[in-house]
Amino acid sequence: MIDMLGRGDVIPLQKALELLDNVAVVIPEKERMPVEDICGRILAETITSAEDVPHFARSTMDGYALRAEDTFGVTETLPAYIKITNEVFMGKTPNFYIKHGEAAKIPTGGMLPDGTDAVLMFEHTQPFGEADIEVLKALAPGDNVIQAGQDIHKGAVLLHPGHKLRPQDMGALCAVGISETWVYKRPVVSIISTGDEIIPPGVPLNGAEVRDINSYNLSGLLLNNGAVPARKGIFRDDYDTIHDIVTEAVKTSQMVLITGGSSVGTLDMTARIIDSLGRPGVVFHGVAVKPGKPLIAGSVNGIPVFGLPGHPAAVTVSFEVFIKPVLRRLKGELADESSKDILRARLTSNIASQPARTDFIWIKVLNNGGELFAQPLLSKSGLISALVQADGLIKIPAEKRGLQKGDEVIVRLF
Amino acid sequence: MIDMLGRGDVIPLQKALELLDNVAVVIPEKERMPVEDICGRILAETITSAEDVPHFARSTMDGYALRAEDTFGVTETLPAYIKITNEVFMGKTPNFYIKHGEAAKIPTGGMLPDGTDAVLMFEHTQPFGEADIEVLKALAPGDNVIQAGQDIHKGAVLLHPGHKLRPQDMGALCAVGISETWVYKRPVVSIISTGDEIIPPGVPLNGAEVRDINSYNLSGLLLNNGAVPARKGIFRDDYDTIHDIVTEAVKTSQMVLITGGSSVGTLDMTARIIDSLGRPGVVFHGVAVKPGKPLIAGSVNGIPVFGLPGHPAAVTVSFEVFIKPVLRRLKGELADESSKDILRARLTSNIASQPARTDFIWIKVLNNGGELFAQPLLSKSGLISALVQADGLIKIPAEKRGLQKGDEVIVRLF
């Protein structure tokens, strides 16, 4: 479909995402890193345990290691009597054997001595004489014990390549004795601000100038999503100038984001530059979403290049909806974690929506005694103040004409 | 309440959180940072706009700037005719005046010339002769225009101290011309591993030794929550050794986490050391939660000190439930953002729970065609493999005896 200005195909959201999914990207490089530095990075190898964890049968309680069969049939009114013949210390291999009718004192985490198969908690005993205890509870073999390999078996696959490493994964790597691992290098993403009217934030405004907002917003979005932002600066709306900086950027980074005006002339120029630099060039120009309709997506020999509309609100939506899935592939991330960035809430008011267009609406989440409400922040697109108030976005699909107050919506947080 | 081993007061969850809330902490120091580096940091000043944003009336469309009254009553069948006398360029102040019956071509983002109050989209015009257009739609004053100050008024408070800075906030600071700002310094948190049996992850295991998991898991949790982890190393379970390192740590960091065995002796020693170093010393020792019951919380002259049980699962729960709220205060963060880290899901199976104890259960979140399910990962506490499979935690309150399959639960992600 061609829009009224002949701006090329304005395609539906789903079609745009499919086209992006099929754009080839360069496979990320790997680097070896110590475990303490991998939080949030993407694993680039399969982690197989070379050890049993734990590597010996351990007590999970402070108590007495013994043979469970010595306690069979025991009740509080019919106790058994056991002799304490030894003691297990943390980190020490017990060099003794426990016979029938005997037990060894053992701390939480201690190694079970030979001859024992269960641990009786202190709480279920009474002292009896000098070295004996009264056993008040029957145990089954394995009670209060973690067996060797019960947590992680030797040879078990613990983590797969493409997994985003969390704190507990760092712990798990340490548990199996791995102190460094292969992760994917973080992609460097160039940010190019264009526009004759754009000036940096720290400079006084003159006349019709406006400040560079988008390259800072994009820097933050990239940092939050595991990429390295490279702000290239602000460039004049001139074919040769922008051609030169984009040419350099596709050589020195793994993705290029060009943020500029929303006027047709500027966007067409960006599209021509993308087409001139390599294959396949522009993949789509214009999507049936609001905000963010004039988005340009392309690829230059494996380097994705996006031309973003100038409104800050459109920049954020374009990033969340279109750029993030491509960035995930550049990072080597396999699992789609996006289902976990969402929450369900009830709309506090009606929202109208135009059919055949996917609308993204800014939401403030209100927590009213544990029940979550989604308050739409309706405003002209491009207002940075609405973005500051917002907690996330909801989507109104193209086939809907709006949503009703009280409807349950899925809020994507950002 | 004293537990069966005389381990001191085992208090309910809510009481423990209240006690922690009342522990005095040192007010965080501030540092001045450029906007590009503040993502995730906590704002330490009030941000007031010294400017109107936008600072001139801007067009939100490509079109013609004119007087709305020249279009009153116009329809497609009863068009008006307007003469195009000039053009507005991006970043340039128009140095001309538009009279009745005239219009100037204007790009999206252009400054409205004097005399005009609305913008007519190209889509609602037809060319007519050399320099005239046919106007096909009536406009109201302000149509397709953002007024000066409509986004952010000069003097408006944009952000408050204690706010966690997000990408859109970075953009908003730039919008009002702020290129650097005061943020709170990130708290340095010492991590002290204790235990005669603990060895680093990269060293071969001997006998009853186990690897240091917790200090790496804690490092990751601290990094994910805006703190600077300082791993102090692994220390023997000896009063003087641990006393010395904790003494040093409370001088060089803003919080101290001691992770060690779960045996009564080790925990009592940690409690005695905290009591010996300053006021108020131990605040509580033992909480009615599972996992994590033996947790010790204290404060040494404004430096919070925690003694964590040795099980990795208990470490994560203790961090999420007890340490995070204290860390938030150390960071200077005011808003409780925790309501946004949650999602609602339906339990896939029954879970039993002991009354008068708050249980935290590891959950894997399953997304079945957009509906979220919470699969409990039931296992002995201390299994690192369950942590690796988990997406988050659910809480079973002390007054409940369990949850039923199909119940809606709130999953706290981590």
pLDDT digits (tens, 9 = 90+) for A362-373: 888 888 877 889
Coarse DSSP helix, strand, coil percentages of chain A, rounded to the nearest 5 percent = 25, 35, 40
Q: Are residues A97 and A24 in the same domain?
A: no
Q: Given CB atoms, is A152 within the 8 Å cutoff of chain B?
A: yes
Q: Given CB atoms, is A142 within the 8 Å cutoff of chain B?
A: no
Task: Look up the ipTM and state it.
Answer: 0.87
The phi, psi pair for A120, rounded to 5°, reads -95, 125
- What residues does A87 pair with on adjacent strands? A105
- What percent of chain B is modeled with pLDDT above 70? 94
Q: Are residues A405 and A344 in the same domain?
A: yes
Q: Given CB atoms, is B50 within the 8 Å cutoff of chain A?
A: no
> Is B7 a member of any domain?
no
Per-residue confidence (pLDDT) for residue B359, from 0 to 100: 86
Closest CA to B313 of A64, A146, A183: A146
Nearest to B109 among A262, A339, A380 (CB): A262
Q: Given CB atoms, is B219 within the 8 Å cutoff of chain A?
A: yes
Q: Are residues A266 and A236 in the same domain?
A: yes
Q: Are residues B285 and B197 in the same domain?
A: yes
Q: Is A179 exposed, middle or buried (0-12, 13-18, 19+ CB in 10 A)?
A: middle
Q: Are residues A319 and A360 in the same domain?
A: no
Per-residue confidence (pLDDT) for residue A1, from 0 to 100: 40
Q: Which two tokens stand for residue B386?
A: 């369950």
| Average pLDDT score over residue span B189-205 | 92
> Is A8 a member of any domain?
no
Among B2, B51, B122, B174, pick the best mutation site for testing chain A contact (most A Cβ within 10 A).
Answer: B174
- pLDDT of residue B313 exceeding 60, the answer is yes
Q: How many CB pairs under 8 A join A and B?
A: 321
Contact B261 A108 (CB under 8 A): yes
CA A265 to CA B227: how far, in whole Å? 46
CATH code: domain of residue B114: 2.170.190.11
Q: Which two tokens stand for residue A306?
A: 């996006």
Per-residue confidence (pLDDT) for residue B4, from 0 to 100: 43
Q: Are residues A263 and A354 in the same domain?
A: no
| Average pLDDT score over residue span A107-131 | 92
Structurally, chain B folds into a number of domains equal to 4
Sign, CA dihedral B164-B170-B173-B177, equals positive
Q: Does residue B285 contact residue B311 with C-beta atoms inside 8 Å? A: no
Range name among A277-291, A308-322, A333-347 with the lowest pLDDT average: A333-347
CA A99 to CA B69: how far, in whole Å? 103
CA angle A249, A255, A257 (to 5 degrees): 80
| Average pLDDT score over residue span A271-283 | 95
Residue B288 DSSP code:
S
Work out the mean pLDDT of chain A and round it to a whole number: 89
Q: What one-character-per-residue DSSP string does B160-185 give? A: -TTPBP-HHHHHHHHHTT--EEEEEP
Residue A96 DSSP code:
S
Q: Does residue A166 contact residue A335 with C-beta atoms inside 8 Å? A: no
CA A368 to CA B284: how far, in whole Å? 31
Q: Given CB atoms, is A149 within the 8 Å cutoff of chain B?
A: no
Q: Given CB atoms, is A205 within the 8 Å cutoff of chain B?
A: yes
Per-residue confidence (pLDDT) for residue A410, from 0 to 100: 86
Q: Given CB atoms, is B211 within the 8 Å cutoff of chain A?
A: yes
Contact B388 A180 (CB under 8 A): no
User: pLDDT by residue (tens digit) across B72-128?
Assistant: 999 989 999 999 999 999 888 999 999 999 999 998 889 999 999 999 999 999 998
Sign, CA dihedral A62-A68-A71-A72, equals positive
Q: Are residues B290 and B321 in the same domain?
A: yes
Nearest to B151 among A40, A201, A384 (CB): A384
Q: Are residues B141 and B169 in the same domain?
A: no
- pLDDT of residue B2 exceeding 60, the answer is no
> Is B127 a member of any domain?
yes
> Is A6 a member of any domain?
no
Q: Which two tokens stand for residue B125?
A: 């015009």
CA B196 to CA A304: how far, in whole Å? 53
Amino acid, res. B126: Q
Q: Are residues A39 and A173 in the same domain?
A: yes
Spell out which residues of chain B touch residue A180, defining contact as CB-CB under 8 Å. 202
Q: Given CB atoms, is A262 within the 8 Å cutoff of chain B?
A: yes
Contact B170 A110 (CB under 8 A): no
Q: What one-character-per-residue DSSP string does A374-396 give? A: EEE----TT-HHHHHH--EEEEE
Domain span including residue B62: 58-146
Q: Which two tokens stand for residue B363?
A: 């959950």
Q: Are residues A204 and A303 in the same domain?
A: yes
CA A377 to CA A361: how far, in whole Å? 7
> Is B4 a member of any domain?
no
Rg of the Cα atoms in chain A: 31
Per-residue confidence (pLDDT) for residue B6, from 0 to 100: 47
The phi, psi pair for A55, rounded to 5°, reads -95, 10
- What percent of chain B is modeled with pLDDT above 90? 64
Other CB atoms within 10 Å distance of the CB of residue A389: 15
Range name among A365-379, B87-101, B210-224, B367-381 with the lowest pLDDT average: B367-381
Q: Which two tokens stand for residue B42?
A: 């906590």
Contact A216 B60 (CB under 8 A): no
**B residues 305-344 lying closer than 8 A (beta carbon) to A:** 310, 312, 316, 339-340, 342-344
pLDDT band for position A130 (cuts 50, 70, 90): confident
Q: How far is the alpha carbon of A166 from chain B, nearest alpha carbon, in Å?
A: 7
B29, containing H or E segment = none
User: pLDDT by residue (tens digit) across B22-75?
Assistant: 998 988 999 999 999 999 999 999 999 999 999 999 998 889 999 999 999 999
CA angle A320, A384, A396 (to 5 degrees): 45
Last residue of a domain, one of B334, B364, B398: B334
3-class SS of residue A292: coil
Contact A213 B5 (CB under 8 A): no
Burial track B341-352 (b if 16+ CB lie within 10 A, e otherwise): bbbbbebeeebe
CATH code: domain of residue A406: 2.40.340.10
Higher pLDDT, A130 or B178: B178
**A residues 110-129 lying closer than 8 A (beta carbon) to B:** 110-111, 122-123
Q: How far is the alpha carbon of B387 from chain A, nearest alpha carbon, in Å?
A: 6
Amino acid, res. B178: I
CA A344 to CA A52: how far, in whole Å? 41
User: pLDDT by residue (tens digit) across A233-252?
Assistant: 999 988 999 999 999 999 99
Higher pLDDT, B231 or B3: B231
Contact A385 B158 (CB under 8 A): yes
pLDDT band for position A380 (cuts 50, 70, 90): low
3-class SS of residue B295: coil
3-class SS of residue A369: coil
User: pLDDT by residue (tens digit) across A400-414?
Assistant: 888 999 999 888 876
Per-residue confidence (pLDDT) for residue A339, from 0 to 100: 56
> Is B275 a member of any domain?
yes
CA A216 to CA B174: how far, in whole Å? 8
CA B5 to CA A91: how far, in whole Å? 23
| Average pLDDT score over residue span A82-96 | 93
- What percent of chain A is modeled with pLDDT above 70? 94
Last residue of a domain, one of A86, A121, A146: A146
| Average pLDDT score over residue span B156-178 | 92
> Is A2 a member of any domain?
no
**B residues 270-309 lying closer than 8 A (beta carbon) to A:** none
Chain Cα centroid distance, residue B202? 33
Per-residue confidence (pLDDT) for residue B379, from 0 to 100: 63
Q: Does residue A37 contact residue A173 with C-beta atoms inside 8 Å? A: no
Q: How many CA atoms lie within 13 A of A337 on its CB side?
A: 20
Chain Cα centroid distance, residue B35? 18
Q: Given CB atoms, is B90 within the 8 Å cutoff of chain A?
A: yes
Per-residue confidence (pLDDT) for residue B337, from 0 to 100: 53
Q: Are residues A303 and A359 in the same domain?
A: no
CA A65 to CA A144: how far, in whole Å? 9
What's the N-to-C CA distance of chain A in angstroms? Answer: 32
Q: Given CB atoms, is A225 within the 8 Å cutoff of chain B?
A: no
Per-residue confidence (pLDDT) for residue B356, from 0 to 100: 81
What residue spans of A280-392 are helical by DSSP H?
Answer: 312-318, 324-331, 384-389
Spell out which residues of chain A touch residue B342, defining contact as CB-CB under 8 Å. 343
Last residue of a domain, one of A334, A366, A395: A334
Contact B170 A231 (CB under 8 A): no
CA A28 to CA A42: how far, in whole Å? 10
Spell out which residues of chain A touch residue B265, defining contact as CB-CB under 8 Å. 107
CA B70 to CA B103: how far, in whole Å? 10
CA A259 to CA A249: how far, in whole Å? 14
3-class SS of residue B15: helix
Contact B158 A388 (CB under 8 A): yes
Burial track A26-39 (b if 16+ CB lie within 10 A, e otherwise): eebebeebebbebb
User: pLDDT by residue (tens digit) across A155-196?
Assistant: 999 999 999 999 989 999 999 999 999 999 999 999 999 988
CA B109 to CA A166: how far, in whole Å? 43
Q: How far is the alpha carbon of A362 from chain B, nearest alpha carbon, in Å?
A: 12
Per-residue confidence (pLDDT) for residue B317, from 0 to 100: 87
CA A75 to CA A27: how far, in whole Å? 65
Q: Are residues A158 and A273 in the same domain?
A: no
Per-residue confidence (pLDDT) for residue B292, from 0 to 100: 87
pLDDT band for position A399 (cuts 50, 70, 90): confident
- pLDDT of residue B380 exceeding 80, the answer is no
Other CB atoms within 10 Å distance of the CB of residue B97: 13
Residue positions counted in chain A: 414
Per-residue confidence (pLDDT) for residue B370, from 0 to 100: 73
Residues 6+ apart with CB under 8 A from B363: B345, B374, B375, B376, B377, B390, B391, B392, B393, B394, B409, B411
| Average pLDDT score over residue span B160-177 | 92
CA B3 to CA B286: how far, in whole Å? 9
Per-residue confidence (pLDDT) for residue B108, from 0 to 100: 85
- The strand ranges marked E within A161-254 are 180-184, 188-194, 198-199, 210-211, 228-235
> Is B380 a member of any domain?
yes
Per-residue confidence (pLDDT) for residue B5, from 0 to 100: 45
3-class SS of residue B58: strand
Higher pLDDT, A382 or B174: B174
What is the bridge-based pairing of β-strands B351-352 and B402-403? antiparallel
- pLDDT of residue A335 exceeding 90, the answer is no
Q: Given CB atoms, is A70 within the 8 Å cutoff of chain B?
A: no
| Average pLDDT score over residue span A51-61 | 91
